[in-house]
Structure 1
């Protein structure tokens, strides 16, 4: 389980996360939604100890991520698929991660097959497309077979087959009792994947509710419509119609 309590992060005079509190429970896919600049990525970085909170805390299974021994066995994360050594092969990228967490090397082959990269396992990452890098990032997140998953925009660059595969995988992992938090801007995909939603705007909590109830409360006919209504006052960059039209 992931617990966020009064989490606050400031950068100078800018408040990126503002007294944010919510819980991500096991057994369901929780969608983490918000407009650009809402603080989603910063919140996930705080959860993973990549940023230090100004106040409050984020706990994973009752302790800060920094205190987790062999973290890949406890938490699988994908924040930016481009964070790989481009000169390494996909296999060796995963192998050094596995060895750093005492994960058997056989698991590297297993996750490469799981994400469909076994045919390019020895290819340099510099030759990979965005979709291939995304699959490699997903493989790294699953390397330790962790009970907790944090994925930031995991469908970016995936083709329709890959999107369907990942949706099915995440729902299956949640059904096994794992804790799954997924950030995405694709409302149509979130509507098909998530059971529960945490919505933030300007660093503050706007909703922490089940999918069906979220849409019903907003008197909307779709997740996209409900999202646009609840975040209307929290969107910093809003496009306007062309003058004269």
Structure 2
């Protein structure tokens, strides 16, 4: 379970997140929606302690992220896919991470095959395409077989086949009882994937509802989203 309570963050004069409160439960895919600059990335960064909130708190399974003894085994995170060293191979990047988290080395080839990078395992990351880099970021998130996944725009750079593959994978992981939190701008894919929605704008919560409740009598998720934003202005 992921819990955010009164999360608040300013960067200078900019109010990035403003008293944000929500709870995400296992067994469902929750989409995190909002326009550019809404505070989604800042919220995700606070959940995993990359940024400290000015007020409020975030908990994963009742604990702060920084208090987790082996965080990759509990929380899979994709915030910046290009975080890997460009001169290191995909397999060595994952082996190094596995070693730091007491993850069995045998998990590395498993997860590379899972994300479709088995044949590129020994290639240097600097030569990867955007889609391959994104798949490597997903491999990192899945490496510890975590019960919680936090993914910021995971469909970025994937071709149609890759998007369908990831949609199926995330759906299967949620059906296994995991908590899946996905930030995305792709409304059509969100409508196919998500069970629940957290919608924010200007750092404030606009909606915390099932997809069915949120769409209600609107023609589509996109229409409901735009109408919600218009009503918040």
What's the TM-score once normalised by structure 2's chain length? 0.98
What's the TM-score once normalised by structure 1's chain length? 0.94
Give unpaired runs (5+ residues) of structure 2.
none
Which runs of 4 or more aligned residues in structure 1 lie more than 2 Å from their structure 2 counterparts after TM superposition?
232-235
Aligned partners of 2:206 and 2:232 also within 8 Å: no
Equivalent position to 2:223, from 222, 225, 240: 225
SS of structure 2 residue aligned to 1:82? helix
Taking the aligned partners of 1:177 and 1:162, their CA distance within structure 2 comes to 23
Aligned residue number for residue 40 of structure 1: 40
SS of structure 2 residue aligned to 1:59? strand
Give unpaired runs (5+ residues) of structure 1.
236-245
Taking the aligned partners of 2:63 and 2:102, their CA distance within structure 1 comes to 21
What are the within-5 Å matches in structure 2 for residues 37-186 of structure 1? 37-186=37-186
Aligned residue number for residue 9 of structure 2: 9
SS of structure 1 residue aligned to 2:230? coil
Aligned residue number for residue 193 of structure 2: 193
Q: Deviations over 1:76-96 (max 9, x none)?
A: 000011111000000011111
Taking the aligned partners of 1:84 and 1:189, their CA distance within structure 2 comes to 27
Taking the aligned partners of 1:79 and 1:233, their CA distance within structure 2 comes to 30
Taking the aligned partners of 2:2 and 2:57, their CA distance within structure 1 comes to 11
